[in-house]
Structure 1
Amino acid sequence: MKQITRNTALVATAAAVLAGPSSPPAASAAPAVRPLEWGRCAGPDLDPRQRCATVEVPMDYADPAGPRIGIVVSRIPSENPAARRGALLMIPGGPGGTSVDAPSEKGQRLPRAVREAYDLIGFAPRGNTPSTAVGCGLQYADLATSRLRPWPAPDGSVADNMLSARRMSDACASNGGELIRHIGTANVARDIDRVRAALGEPRLSAWGVSYGTYVGAVYGQLYPHRTDRIVLDSNGDPDPVRVQRAWLAGFERGVEDVFPEFAAWASAPGNPDRVARTAAQVRSRFLSLAARLDRAPLPRPGANPPVLDGNELRQAMLSALYDPDGFADLARLMRAAERGTALPAPPSPPEELLQNATAVGAGTICNDAAWPRSAEVYQRDVTDSRAAYPLTAGMPRNAMLCAAWPYRPRQQAVRITGDGPSNVLLVQNERDVATPLSGALRMRQALGRRAVMVTVDATGHDAYLANGNACGDRTVTDFLTSGRRPDMDVRCA
């Protein structure tokens, strides 16, 4: 769901996790954890107050005496010990994202009252560097976002996608070792409880974003008595059967929610990047341009792949709609392509980072819930999707590498319910391409009396202190600092 950077959407991993009535056996008491040994964090430009430590956890919680892996944790202590309430865990998006640097980065955007109330805690979820890392050793071409979150062929065929799924899943099985089989959301939640214990905290507050909302919800389901104040920001659909498949399908609705905002912006008089005179013309020109590039791609040296075809334009559209700040990039790309040229590709993260994040994303999405194995299932779904949602051209229902994943889920996914303390605040933008309001409403319904939801009249992925509004930000800050929530669901206009 969440991009590695604003310009590089993480694998087919803009998705998530869930499944049956019984929860995995995880909430049993954990053994005593050694005190943390804090030291210098690796990486440039970090706040000098940030320190890091490693928590050892079982690789397989069904075999707690077996091999161990390391989970790297970061911390910036409360800025006012006299006002300190506890620890605020910053749960990253993805799957495949990390929040190790978050206390030094987004954590410093938190209001001072929040920074005084909490130690800010980040972590690298299992499999993510600098924790014990996993990799699939994929071919470089398979690291392209349009391969990881695959688009059908111009004629709608999924045959090549099924071949890619087999090649990529075989690589993960060959190169991922035993750890790739134990990557998954429920295990991340178990790891978080080991981190909580190692921090010496009886309860943990959390701010989960995007995929992190699902992690936070699963943690609250497995360990309700260990939660304090939980903020879930930009929420996915916690469907207990389809999980990440439901998140990917959400792009259909998300694009339709956000593209009109782009079209209005791109048709506004006086805009130097204006694409057309009306919003309707922006949409038609985008669809026509994508179809033209399907037939006659343009060279794009330095990009992966090194062409701008229809699907690469569609992928650029999807990435741009995460944040209104990306609208100009899409408009300029459209105008250049209409002239017969292609703008340089945006910078990509280093291959090593992409390999690692891709493997974690693949392991999470494919291990959390079973995916169909039949090409016919995907072909039928893609055909229906292309007819109903032409902007996304069938991608949200297409076959990822999970269609050929060699392992079956070891447990049913955790079903999110209303059982537990009423200490959850959902914050959600009305127009969010990656986690649309329709999916967030399903999370709200699942949590029942435990949650209150703040719907923000804003556009973009990530609401609190990012693409939301002042009303929503104040509501979240007040909850974190005082514990006060609205008495009922509210809308911040």
Structure 2
Amino acid sequence: MKTWSLLSRVLGAAVAAPFLVSCSSNTESSGDGAQDPMTLSSESDALSGDFDALSHEPPPGGVRGVKVPTLEWSDCGGGYQCAKADVPLDYREPRGRTISLALTRKPATDPARRIGSLWVNPGGPGGSAGGLVRRLGQSAPAPMRERFDIIGFDPRGVGASVPLACQNQREYSDAWAQATARPERGQFDRALQLAKEFNDACVRESADRLPYVGTQYTARDMDVLREAAGDKKLNYFGISFGTFIGTVYANLFPKRIRVLALDGAYDPETYANRPYEYDLGQYVAVDAALKRFFDWCKDTPESCSFGNGNPAKAFLDLQASLDANPIRNAEGRVIANGATLVLQIVFDLNRARPFWPTLAKDLAQAQTTRDGRLLAEVSAGTASFLGMNTAIECADRDFPRDKSLLRTFLRLESAVAPYAGPAIAFGPPGYDHGHAPACVQWPAARRSRYAGPWDAAGSPPILVVGTTGDPDTPYPDAVSLARKLDNARLLTFKGEGHTGYSGSACARAAISDYLVDRVLPARGAVCDDALPPTTN
């Protein structure tokens, strides 16, 4: 009862705090009238208003003076083509500095019936669209591959598009070595310090780009590239964070859309403007998915070798054991502990029920022999991805800078998500819902943030897909987005894991039908074809 009483009080503060902040000045000035690009600022409302007033039909990117690049495609193996495109670094200065974006394309296999380009984004933030193009180019439903050039661009600051850098692999691994999975004294001060060290590294390595990697500018980039590709209307398939990119695009350019499919949806209002409320939903969703895994493990001991009948307790015991006695390499450096175990499992839960037997086996290995993939050191790829993930979200999201409110919410998140919450809340800046300590102290201007509106007034029908057991983008967010959009249809996948497309043949077919033929699923449609756990 105490937890839920605190939840009620804190959520009230979460709703009120951003509005109180927005009613006051949130731009720090050096006193001479000049705006330091590394000074915190939230200017997206005024920026959007200026662009919207330019004309009834705004130019590509929504800004006068933007040069539309010429895409020079070259072969990059396997039937795929690659190109580079320069776009404005800052759309407030369209003729100023540029940033180079990397594109990948798989041409339509039936060019005589080609509809146009299908722009795709895998989410993250921090995911490379090039990889998704290659996967879809091999495995997407045949009508999608036949009728569309499947195109993706790595968003600014990601992949091959002048990627952001923050801490290197050694620095990031050493930061996680200081974290614990179970609550302990001093964890809040440690979280603040680890976040400050992370932020300092981002400034050291990427200061000139940090203010410009927010999603408003990524959406404007996509409109410029749409024009460069010769498409009058946008066809778009966004997954996970890619749904937020699509939502922002739909609100900036609602009449330039042909189809927009958003799978694994974000609630854009809470994500951008009430971030503690948004994060709390993900903490709850991750622990709920873990509990369902534990229940399966307990009920099917013949398929689950972890926990000896009490996997939940075994998981907490394993965390405590690894906190007290972490894994060290030959040099004596800590390379894995209870916190890094949790970080890996947060990603594993996205893989749904077919992966559960493998996860159980890997947990049993960690428990009995203290080795295996769950206890591997944080890789260079993970350090890079989570650096981009944190920096882009801090550019997008308006966290109140009140550290007492931060402390309250981190405690709350640990309380409502006791299995995974403490490691993510009080660890180094990690994945999605673990960014608050960094974003509260974020040193860069938020010059490319989008804060609404979210109704996409005037758009054609938009397809929103949500998965009931999604630990990464909770199902209520899909419901909320579908309601916020003026013209949207919600498709529900009743299952586990991250996104309907990845887990449901029914959802894949519905997405394909919508993208190709603009046929929406019936109102209230539910896909109920989740696969069971798979035992090798």
TM-score of the aligned structures, taking structure 1 as reference length: 0.84
Question: Is 1:473–2:508 an aligned residue pair?
Answer: yes
Structure 1 residues 256 and 72: CA distance shift in structure 2, 3 A: same
Mapping for residues 177-196 of structure 1, pairs under 5 Å: 177-196=207-226
Superposed displacement of residue 101, structure 1: 3.1
Question: Is 1:70–2:100 an aligned residue pair?
Answer: yes
Q: 2:356 is matched with which residue?
A: 327
**Conservation of the 8 A alpha-carbon contact between 2:276 and 2:409:** no
1:33 to 68, 78, 93: 68
Superposed displacement of residue 336, structure 1: 3.4
2:318 to 289, 293, 307: 289
Question: Is 1:110–2:148 an aligned residue pair?
Answer: no
- Can you list the C-alpha shifts for 1:330-387, whole angstroms capped at 9, x where unaligned? 4234323443623355777963x55653443233111112323343222211222222
Superposed displacement of residue 298, structure 1: 3.4
Structure 1 residues 23 and 213: CA distance shift in structure 2, 3 A: farther
Question: Is 1:258–2:284 an aligned residue pair?
Answer: no
Q: Which amino acid aligns with 1:387?
A: A
Q: Which amino acid aligns with 1:426?
A: V
> Partners in 2 of 1:236 and 1:304 — Cα distance?
42
**Conservation of the 8 A alpha-carbon contact between 1:181 and 1:363:** no
2:484 to 446, 451, 455: 446
Structure 1 residues 100 and 338: CA distance shift in structure 2, 3 A: closer
> Partners in 2 of 1:20 and 1:130 — Cα distance?
26
> Partners in 1 of 2:285 and 2:237 — Cα distance?
22
Structure 1 residues 23 and 147: CA distance shift in structure 2, 3 A: farther
> Partners in 2 of 1:388 and 1:99 — Cα distance?
34
Q: Which amino acid aligns with 2:452?
A: V
SS in 1 for 2:495: strand
SS in 1 for 2:464: strand
Q: 1:226 is matched with which residue?
A: 256
Q: 1:401 is matched with which residue?
A: 438
Counting helix residues as a fraction of each chain, which structure ranks higher?
A: 2
> Partners in 2 of 1:452 and 1:148 — Cα distance?
45
Mapping for residues 364-443 of structure 1, pairs under 5 Å: 364-394=392-422, 395=425, 396=433, 399-410=436-447, 413-443=451-481
**Conservation of the 8 A alpha-carbon contact between 1:152 and 1:398:** no
Instruction: Provide the alpha-carbon RMSD of the alignment.
Output: 3.1
> Partners in 2 of 1:195 and 1:264 — Cα distance?
47
Mapping for residues 5-404 of structure 1, pairs under 5 Å: 24=48, 25-26=50-51, 28-30=58-60, 31=66, 33-41=68-76, 46-47=77-78, 49-138=79-168, 140-142=170-172, 154-155=184-185, 157-239=187-269, 241-242=272-273, 245-269=276-300, 271-276=302-307, 281-294=310-323, 296-301=324-329, 306-324=334-352, 325-339=354-368, 341-345=370-374, 351=380, 353-354=381-382, 356-394=384-422, 395=425, 396=433, 399-404=436-441
Q: Which runs of 4+ in 1 moved over 4 A?
A: 18-23, 143-153, 243-247, 302-305, 344-350, 353-356
SS in 1 for 2:117: strand
> Partners in 2 of 1:32 and 1:308 — Cα distance?
48
> Partners in 1 of 2:180 and 2:143 — Cα distance?
43
Q: Which amino acid aligns with 1:451?
A: A
> Partners in 1 of 2:494 and 2:374 — Cα distance?
32
**Conservation of the 8 A alpha-carbon contact between 1:234 and 1:429:** yes
Highest relative contact order (Cα 8 Å, sep 6+), 1 or 2? 1
- Can you list the C-alpha shifts for 1:30-62, whole angstroms capped at 9, x where unaligned? 345243111133xxxx52x21111111000000
Superposed displacement of residue 210, structure 1: 0.6
Superposed displacement of residue 417, structure 1: 1.4
> Partners in 1 of 2:350 and 2:318 — Cα distance?
21
**Conservation of the 8 A alpha-carbon contact between 1:141 and 1:304:** no
Residue-pair matches, total: 464
> Partners in 2 of 1:263 and 1:130 — Cα distance?
39
SS in 2 for 1:100: helix
**Conservation of the 8 A alpha-carbon contact between 2:340 and 2:378:** no
Superposed displacement of residue 114, structure 1: 1.4
SS in 2 for 1:218: helix
> Partners in 2 of 1:269 and 1:137 — Cα distance?
42
Structure 1 residues 390 and 302: CA distance shift in structure 2, 3 A: farther
**Conservation of the 8 A alpha-carbon contact between 2:469 and 2:495:** yes
> Partners in 2 of 1:454 and 1:148 — Cα distance?
42
> Partners in 2 of 1:171 and 1:115 — Cα distance?
42
SS in 2 for 1:267: helix
> Partners in 1 of 2:507 and 2:291 — Cα distance?
23
Q: 2:21 is matched with which residue?
A: none
Q: Which amino acid aligns with 1:285?
A: A
Q: 1:456 is matched with which residue?
A: 493
> Partners in 2 of 1:302 and 1:66 — Cα distance?
50
> Partners in 1 of 2:44 and 2:225 — Cα distance?
27
**Conservation of the 8 A alpha-carbon contact between 1:204 and 1:226:** yes
Larger Rg: 2
SS in 2 for 1:235: coil
TM-score of the aligned structures, taking structure 2 as reference length: 0.78
Q: Which amino acid aligns with 2:401?
A: R
Percentage of pairs with the same residue: 26
Structure 1 residues 113 and 398: CA distance shift in structure 2, 3 A: closer
Q: Which amino acid aligns with 1:484?
A: V
Q: Which amino acid aligns with 2:389?
A: G
Superposed displacement of residue 477, structure 1: 1.8
Deviates more, 1:67-76 or 1:393-402: 393-402
Superposed displacement of residue 453, structure 1: 0.7
**Conservation of the 8 A alpha-carbon contact between 1:234 and 1:461:** yes
- Can you list the C-alpha shifts for 1:187-209, whole angstroms capped at 9, x where unaligned? 10010011101101001111100
